[in-house]
Amino acid sequence: MSGYDIFAWIVLVILLASAVGVFCIAGSLPGHIAKTRGHPWAQAVMVAGWITLICGFALWPLALIWAYVDVPAPRKTGNA
């Protein structure tokens, strides 16, 4: 093995590790955001983030938007 082959393998391993790291961060990002914002369905947002990322990236931004959506408080109906 020449020096170039070893360098190429090192670069390949670093690229694969970086890709796995980015994938894991992107999968957990919507759930983490929802949890820190106190979203009532933080667990569902987390599951949606992972499933949409694994099954195709197209709907992942919707899970990210869902993490930022505040759920309005229920209206109190009463005779005041």
pLDDT tens for each residue of the chain, 80 residues long: 788 899 999 999 999 999 999 999 999 999 999 999 999 999 999 999 999 999 988 899 999 999 999 777 677 776 65
Per-residue confidence (pLDDT) for residue 35, from 0 to 100: 94
Per-residue confidence (pLDDT) for residue 56, from 0 to 100: 86
Handedness of CA 66, 31, 47, 26 (dihedral sign): positive
Per-residue confidence (pLDDT) for residue 3, from 0 to 100: 85
Per-residue confidence (pLDDT) for residue 76, from 0 to 100: 78
Query: pTM value?
Result: 0.78
User: Is residue 26 within 8 Å of 53, Cβ to Cβ?
Assistant: yes
Go through 10-23 and write b for each residue having 16 or more CB atoms within 10 A of its CB, e for each that does not: eeeeeeeeeeeeee
